[in-house]
Amino acid sequence: MSQTLEIACDESGAEGEKLVGGNSDVFAHASVLMDAETATACVAELRERAPTPATEYRASHVLRGKHRAALLWLLGPEGPVLGKVRVFLTDKLFYVAGKVTGLLEDDHAPRLGLDPHAAATAAVLYREGPGAFGAERWAALLDSFNYLLRAKNGQGVTTSVEETFRLVEELRGAGGAAGEIMESLWRARARVADFRERLLADPYVFPALDPLIPAIVQAVTYWGAGGGPVSVVHDRQTTLTDERVAQMRRILGGRMAGLRLVDSELDERVQVADVMAGVARKIALDELAGRADPTLSALIRPYVDGSSIWAGGPGLTAPAGEAVPRSA
């Protein structure tokens, strides 16, 4: 029987299924294959290089400008985490665009993460939508679909297919590729309405819109590529309910041995995951904002999962076909 691998995980930028108009346009999830002793030594070295009196080490400590040397050490080839950490990035707006274009597929079925068949169309919409529709209407379109496709809405905001498609009808005349996509979406209205009805009837019929779910599934897939089961230790997250964990286990077909929530202050492996997720999110946000730090972008690249939901940066995703590290 294959030995079970245990990975420790944490995220940065999580806002559940709210993907538009939140506090951050990037979600980052880090998974760490590292034993407790190695993680403890890593955090201890970080405290030497980038001191803080805080009892729990966080990404914000090493991201301070005065601690740049420590950050370069952490990410660099001589650092302690290369080959032991994988980061899954999600550009939240691109994710919504992908969910919108996924509704255009003739064989559309709810899929986890970004529908690969809709990715090219999503990239076109993401690239051309703001200019074709104007920033305000582009944001309104994504926000409306974000609410329409959410399994749950704790903010009390409601929208309907009719309300959303009034905006789609208006944008059909925008011209260009973005306008053509809206025309196709307009013709798919009945399909969208059916999707919404089924979602409201049973939120757990479909994978969640929350990017945390595809990130964990990909982490298990990556580290378990050798065929063995993977057990997940994760920082406490209210969205990781028993129902969602059961759903992920079904999606993974038994490859996830289990998921256990822990207090990150008590597990240095999770603190390493927190640091790496926070660092990756900051670098990714700078990429999207056009203020990329070439040194940090190059250093983070080997850690970033190539299947990340990402279209905004020139080269943050790792090359395909990399060997999967197997040692803790």
Mean per-residue pLDDT over the chain, rounded: 90
Which strands sit side by side in the sheet containing 256-262, from one edge to the other?
A: 85-91, 26-32, 5-12, 230-235, 256-262
Tell me the sheet residues that pair with 11: 29
With pLDDT > 90 as the criterion, what percentage of the chain qualifies?
77
Under 8 Å CB-to-CB from 229, ≥6 apart: which residues? Answer: 2, 4, 5, 254, 255, 256, 257
Reported confidence tier of residue 155, pLDDT bands at 50, 70, 90: low
Domains of the chain, each with CATH number or no CATH: 5-83+208-303 (3.30.420), 92-205 (no CATH)
pLDDT digits (tens, 9 = 90+) for 78-126: 999 999 999 999 999 999 999 999 999 766 566 788 888 889 999 999 9
Under 8 Å CB-to-CB from 55, ≥6 apart: which residues? Answer: 265
pLDDT digits (tens, 9 = 90+) for 207-238: 788 999 999 999 999 999 988 999 999 999 99
CA quadruple 85, 110, 103, 310: dihedral, nearest 10: 0
- What does the DSSP assignment read for 184-217? HHHHTHHHHHHHHHHHHH-GGGS--S-THHHHHH
Radius of gyration over every alpha carbon of the chain, rounded to an integer in angstroms: 20
CA distance 25 to 20: 7
Residue 270 CB burial class (10 angstroms; 0-12, 13-18, ≥19): buried
pLDDT digits (tens, 9 = 90+) for 134-149: 999 999 999 999 999 8
pLDDT digits (tens, 9 = 90+) for 273-302: 999 999 999 999 999 999 999 999 999 999
CA distance 146 to 134: 18
Q: What integer pLDDT is reported at residue 266 of this predicted model?
A: 92
Of 190, 216, 211, 220, nearest to 114 (Cα)?
211
